[in-house]
Amino acid sequence: MANKCGVLRTQIYNWRRLEEKGREIISKEYKNPRVQYYDIITWARALIEKLAPIVNKARECRMEDEGSALHMVALAARFMTLDAKDCVFFGTPPKKCEVSTPTKTYLHNIDHYCKKILGRKCTWLLGVKEPYTLTAAVNDLDASFHSLMERVEKQVEEIEDVSDKCTSIRGDEALKEACKAWDEETEKWRKNRKYAEVDYEELSGMVVDKKAEFRVGSAGGHKAHIDLEKGTLEYYDDDMPVNYLMSKLMEDIGLKCEYHDEGVSCKGVNRENVKEVARRLAAATSMDFRLNCDYLGREPPGLPKCDPLHPWSNVDREYRAVSWKLTQKLLEEFT
């Protein structure tokens, strides 16, 4: 399974050509306004198409603000095409065609994110030039696209491929090794048919400085965070039996954990045990399927084999038997 953040490198390739096209539309002398409108609409649509995959991948790769800002660029481009069509209908030249309130609103939103990300606005004419025309908006949108894509490009250059599912930006070496260990463990579980494919396809790990985030299932919030500075593990799930077992797995290696209806909180993570902590996170993926499968006494087609816990070498049979009895009790209470 390809590294999801690495895909960004190919998606942002050649973005400068699109940015240059925007500048060309502004600087070129058009004899026929309809030709300029056609170029604006074509450019805006290309912008929307280009940004669609980048926005989601940027967010997945811990560039939430950049992804949100580029989403605003796409929305502004969408309303700009509607403005252009209206102006064509009324026969107003682009230099005299005032843009709509939604277009201005999304450009203001872009500036909001630019101030947060870059410490400055991305637009130049918004709020300065009145009336605010379509050509001014194209100029500002192109400038915003340029600034934000440069930012994403720089961030992508810093992304290091640690393993198939793991990426890093200035990541701590211990956490990078931990992510690799988790990745290797997930492959073992998959080969032994312990995962539902829908969950496996969403697995990814991202290390930034001394923090790591693991996506451990197909549900959007099914994640785990490790903070090496604070020495904490936060696992997010609303399945109580799973949370119980995950807390026991972590306590078995010396962490102090509490499980609750929103997940598991553990303390005691350090450079010496973080690799094993990450490795054990592999158990979380599809555990709800495996638990329900065992509880029902049958193996649904297309789902993982019935087995809630992998036979960890340092967890003896008696402990697993006790854990399973308690889990069955919890299942009776919560199902």
Mean pLDDT to the nearest integer, 1-20: 70
- Taking the alpha carbons at both ends of the chain, their separation in whole angstroms is 34
Section 104-131 average pLDDT? 95
Grade residue 226 by pLDDT with cuts at 50, 70 and 90.
Answer: very high
pLDDT per position as a tens digit, 227-286? 999 999 999 998 887 888 899 889 989 999 999 888 999 999 999 999 999 999 998 998
Least reliable range by pLDDT among 12-26, 166-180, 200-214: 12-26
- Three-state SS across 245-295? HHHHHHHCCCCEEEEECCEEEEECCCCCCHHHHHHHHHHHCCHHHHHHHHH
Q: How many helical (H) and strand (E) elements, i.e. helices and strands, does the chain have?
A: 12, 8
Model pLDDT, residue 311: 44
* Res 241: pLDDT: 79
pLDDT at 76: 97
Q: Which two tokens stand for residue 60?
A: 């997945």
pLDDT tens-digit profile of 270-328? 999 999 999 999 989 988 777 665 433 444 445 545 554 444 434 334 444 545 555 44
What pLDDT was estimated at residue 132?
A: 96
Domain ranges of the chain: 7-159, 162-334
Is pLDDT at 331 greater than 80 in this prediction?
no
Amino acid (one-letter) located at 138: V
Spatial distance between the Cα atoms of 201 and 318, rounded to a whole number of angstroms: 33
Whether the pLDDT of residue 138 is over 50: the answer is yes
Instruction: Please choose, from the candidates 217, 218, 253, 219, the residue with its C-alpha nearest in 3D space to the C-alpha of residue 233.
Output: 253
The predicted-structure confidence for 39-93, as pLDDT tens digits, reads as follows 999 999 999 998 988 888 888 777 889 999 999 999 999 999 999 999 988 888 8
pLDDT of residue 1: 38
Q: What percent of the chain lies above the pLDDT cut of 90?
A: 48
226: β partners: 212, 233
Q: Please provide the average confidence, as pLDDT, over all residues in the chain.
A: 84
Q: What is the pLDDT of residue 197?
A: 85
pLDDT band at 194 (very low <50, low <70, confident <90, very high): confident
Quick one: pLDDT at residue 292? 63
Measure the CA angle with vertex 262, ends 257 and 268; round to 5°: 20
